[in-house]
């Protein structure tokens, strides 16, 4: 049984409560393999015949399939030909959840190595896909994978999120953000991810993720959506209030919520002065939580 950081286990136990034992059991099980069928080149029936094995569908994605643990994609030329992409089931869920108009403009802001971009291109069947990666070497890998998958409507960019989202301000029907994370989703597959984990790294990733999401919402057209993928990590105390404020700002509407520092009883004055009314133009995500700088209100939570 693999050993995990004590601080990580304590935090997960506090968050999951009665579900923590089931989480620990799953954490020590072998990772499950899955693939995304590239419908730009094939379909489930044809790929199943070519691989010589059944491809049971995934609940997370109708174009995904579960494969045996011993399946080796490099043992068949079909992988190099771009007929499928090895991708975990949960990683396929964000794109599958998107509802897109005809000929959409979609931004994949943190796209490398390209699995979600390839899935987006197959789902879009047209339009324009902007696949961005800030690291030059990873951008090259991204371009190579999209070429292998037969994607013809993608523009691969190597830019800072702030620069790119300003150029694409309010032009995208959807923005996908698979922000850099602390690697907790890799624990079952990669021992190095366990060794590299630390609370400091989690906090640094949370700051980076908030900055990326703040830029991403600028590129989204009104009334469309921004999907968040990967194992986004924001501190438990700050996560709910941050996401409420993010959604309120992205949708241009006012909304009351309780700040992460709203401590005390519902009737206490300290609680009331910590409760803020979110306004789109005055939100500030730069701190440890989602705090707004507009006047306090008398909102009381029923939670």
H or E element that contains 148: helix 136-148
Nearest to 256, CA basis, from 238, 241, 234, 237? 241
How many domains are there within the chain? 2
- Do 196 and 279 fall into the same domain? no
What is the predicted pLDDT for the residue at 180?
Answer: 86
Q: Is residue 248 very low, low, confident or very high in pLDDT (cuts 50, 70, 90)?
A: low
Q: Are residues 204 and 266 in the same domain?
A: no
Half-sphere exposure of 34 toward its Cβ, with a 13 Å CA cutoff?
22
Residues 228, 258 within the same domain: no
178: pLDDT strictly greater than 80: yes
Domain range enclosing 160: 98-233
pTM, whole model, 2 decimals?
0.76
Q: Decide if 62 contacts 95 (C-beta within 8 A).
A: no
Looking up residue 109, the CATH number of its domain turns out to be 3.40.50.150
Same domain, 213 and 298: no
Q: Are residues 154 and 272 in the same domain?
A: no
Pair 104, 228 in one domain: yes
Same domain for 277 and 168, yes or no, is no
Residue 278: the pLDDT is: 34
Residues 118 and 220 both lie in one domain: yes
């Amino acid at each position: 049984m693999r050993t995990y950081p004590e601080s990580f286990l304590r935090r997960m136990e506090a968050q999951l409560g009665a579900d923590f034992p089931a989480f620990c059991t799953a954490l020590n099980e072998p990772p499950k393999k899955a693939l995304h069928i590239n419908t730009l080149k094939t379909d489930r029936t044809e790929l199943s015949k070519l691989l010589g094995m059944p491809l049971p569908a995934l609940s997370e994605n109708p174009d995904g399939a579960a494969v045996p643990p011993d399946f080796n994609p490099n043992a068949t030329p079909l992988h190099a030909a771009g007929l499928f992409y090895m991708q975990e089931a949960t990683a396929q869920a964000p794109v599958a959840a998107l509802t897109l108009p005809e000929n959409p403009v979609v931004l994949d802001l943190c796209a490398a190595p390209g699995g979600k971009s390839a899935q987006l291109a197959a789902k879009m069947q047209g339009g324009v896909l902007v696949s961005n990666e800030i690291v030059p070497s990873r951008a090259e890998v991204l371009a190579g994978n999209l070429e292998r998958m037969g994607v013809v409507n993608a523009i691969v960019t190597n830019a800072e999120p702030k620069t790119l989202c300003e150029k694409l301000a309010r032009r995208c029907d959807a923005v996908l953000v698979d922000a850099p994370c602390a690697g907790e989703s890799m624990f079952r597959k990669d021992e190095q991810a366990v060794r590299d984990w630390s609370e400091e790294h989690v906090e640094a990733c949370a700051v980076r993720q908030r900055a990326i999401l703040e830029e991403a919402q600028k590129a989204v057209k009104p009334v469309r959506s921004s999907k968040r993928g990967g194992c986004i990590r924001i501190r438990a105390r700050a996560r709910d209030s941050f996401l409420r404020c993010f959604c309120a700002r992205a949708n241009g509407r006012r909304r009351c919520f309780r700040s992460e520092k709203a401590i005390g009883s519902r009737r206490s004055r300290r609680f009331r002065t910590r409760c803020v009314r979110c306004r789109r133009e005055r939100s500030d995500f730069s701190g440890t939580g989602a705090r707004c700088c507009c006047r306090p209100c008398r909102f009381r939570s029923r939670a």
